Amino acid sequence: MKIRNEEKILEILEILDNFVNSKQVTINQSVEYPIKEFDALRKDTIPKILDVLNMLFKKEIDIGSFKTKIDSYNKKYPLWGFKGFNGMMFFNMLYKCSSDKSELHNLMIDVLKLPDNIYDAKNKIQTLVDYINIISADITDKRKTPSPKSSLFFLSYFWQIQAPDRFPVFYQSMEKDFLDLQILEKDDNLAEYYEKFYNINEELRKLFEKRVNRPVNLWFIEHVFWRYHLQRQEEPKKRTDEIETTTETYKDYIPPVIGNIINLSKNESNPADFEIATGKLFTMLGFEVEVKGQGRGRTVDVIARGYGYGMSKPYVLLVDCKSRKNADYKINAGDERTIIEYIKSFLYDSPRDRASDIYFLIVSSGFRDIEEKALRKIKAETNIDTILITIETLLFLLSLKLQKWDLDIEKMKNIFQTRGIVTKEFIQEQLIGR
């Protein structure tokens, strides 16, 4: 679609101007980076990923080793959102569903190599989509099969690694923004759909270059629209077109049985109600839940066990609910000791869970001044990480679950594998990608 409407051009230029006149930063993994610094991190990381790609192309490693190395690098350098649905999770499902790993290896060599042009890129997309349809045909539960649409992000990520300014990464957030701006039209033919996305990026490049009077690369366009996307999530107005989970719409998906949970998280006089509601929330997320709560001794309020398809063992969330009227919970020295005691008591009382991955999760109305040294001390004493999440962010996760039926326990585990505060932006990057 050509961007010809004058009003639309002005709207896009306003998005650009807002970015240019801002601090020109990007948010990644809940951390703010100046875009020059972030781009430099990417440039430093690309040679490492290229080395692994070339090992695959030369068959110096098998497809399983390649998958493991790519996973490791993207956990260490999470700069493209590859850990989400459309990246590593897609790759894992593709690998599990492929009975002939040699065939998959040869396919990956073919489709991951840098395309000569957009037409070659479309052929590679179609090749991967056809393969996905073949290997998925006999699997009844489609939740266990890779999504063909994920191939757009997956392939364009590897192409951009090889040529950063030739092929734009097909980010879901950019797709959504382009659709809402009515500069992209949906297309069930995924190869054609990527070509439309590609062409829009090239049109935007020319439009932006004329506006700022300097060369513009694909990463700059990505940064402009990522900022725009995050700003839209904070807008109070509700859009009436295609419904998407954002901070202004997620409450529409919350079941009435926990509809007052935000108020409960601020009611310090009766914390038991908050604990019970939080237990119900984790049940809705798909966990096996025990609500311990008040009067049960030195124990956490909720124990949530996650059993996922393909997981060799469950993971366990030890959930401590903290009601705070002013949304200002802080871990003090007394809390440190209590958390450590809770964890040690659980390990003593539940020997069968010791082999599981265990995380300590604090749920509250809000946090302030969370010091890394407190989290490090708990880790040193127990070898278990502490994660903090606001009840609104947890509701955001639930709304994603209720809208996306393929968001299962195994995929949610990514959220709880990092120490510190979990934000909505972090959840989006981990589960959906940019």
Residue-level pLDDT, tens digit, the chain, 434 residues: 578 788 899 999 999 999 999 999 998 877 899 999 999 999 999 999 999 999 999 999 999 999 999 999 998 999 998 988 889 989 999 999 999 999 999 999 999 999 999 999 999 999 999 999 999 998 877 767 899 999 999 999 999 999 999 999 999 889 999 999 999 999 999 999 999 999 999 999 999 999 999 999 999 999 999 999 988 876 643 333 333 444 345 667 788 889 899 999 998 888 899 999 999 999 999 999 999 866 556 789 999 999 876 667 889 999 999 999 999 999 999 999 999 999 999 999 999 888 899 999 999 999 988 888 999 999 999 999 999 999 999 998 998 888 765 677 887 888 888 788 998 878 877 776 66
Helix, strand, coil share of the chain (percent; to 5):
55, 10, 35
Given this model, what pLDDT does residue 240 score?
Answer: 31
| Overall domain count for the chain | 2
| Same structural domain, 270 and 409 | yes
- Dihedral of the CA atoms 173, 163, 33, 366 (nearest 10)? 30
| Same structural domain, 52 and 181 | yes
CA distances from 413 to 75, 380, 408 (A): 14, 22, 9
Choose one of 233, 261, 287: the last residue of a domain.
233
| Same structural domain, 216 and 272 | no
| Same structural domain, 306 and 346 | yes
Backbone angles phi, psi at 361, to 5 degrees: -120, 125
Could you tell me if residue 240 is inside a domain?
A: no
* 3-state SS record for 326-379: CCCECCCHHHHHHHHHHHHHHHHHCHHHCCCEEEEEEEECCECCCCHHHHHHHH
Running DSSP on this structure, what letter comes out for residue 319? E
Contact predicate 412/431, CB 8 Å: yes
Could you tell me if residue 310 is inside a domain?
A: yes
Could you tell me if residue 239 is inside a domain?
A: no
Contact predicate 358/384, CB 8 Å: yes
Given this model, what pLDDT does residue 362 score?
Answer: 96
| Same structural domain, 221 and 256 | no
Helices and strands (H, E) in the chain, number of each type: 17, 8
Angle between helices 190-212 and 172-180 (to 10 degrees): 80
Residue for token digits 């049940």? 283
Could you tell me if residue 418 is inside a domain?
A: yes
Hey, what are 305's tokens? 């066990």
Contact predicate 94/51, CB 8 Å: no
Running DSSP on this structure, what letter comes out for residue 1? -
Could you tell me if residue 245 is inside a domain?
A: no
What CATH number should be reported for the domain holding residue 327?
Answer: 3.40.91.30
Q: Considering only CA atoms, which of 396, 399, 392 is closest in space to residue 365?
A: 392
Q: Which domain holds residue 396?
A: 250-432
Choose one of 233, 262, 279: the last residue of a domain.
233
Q: Which amino acid is at 155?
A: L
| Same structural domain, 380 and 284 | yes
Geometric angle at alpha carbon 295, from 291 and 300, rounded to 5°: 45
Quick count: other Cβ atoms within 10 Å of Cβ 347?
16
Could you tell me if residue 187 is inside a domain?
A: yes
| Same structural domain, 170 and 310 | no
Given this model, what pLDDT does residue 417 score?
Answer: 81
Given this model, what pLDDT does residue 392 score?
Answer: 92
Three-class secondary structure of residue 408 per DSSP:
coil
| Same structural domain, 299 and 394 | yes
Choose one of 175, 203, 233: the last residue of a domain.
233
Hey, what are 306's tokens? 């996650």
Q: Considering only CA atoms, which of 402, 401, 408, 398 is closest in space to residue 145?
A: 408
| Same structural domain, 219 and 256 | no
| Same structural domain, 83 and 12 | yes
- Provide the phi-psi class of 60: left if phi over 0, else alpha when psi is between -120 and 50, else beta: alpha
Could you tell me if residue 244 is inside a domain?
A: no
Give the gyration radius of the chain's Cα atoms. Answer: 23
| Same structural domain, 192 and 335 | no
Given this model, what pLDDT does residue 242 score?
Answer: 36
Quick count: other Cβ atoms within 10 Å of Cβ 89?
24
224 vs 145: CA distance, rounded Å: 33
| Same structural domain, 262 and 308 | yes
Could you tell me if residue 265 is inside a domain?
A: yes
389's enclosing H/E stretch is strand 386-390
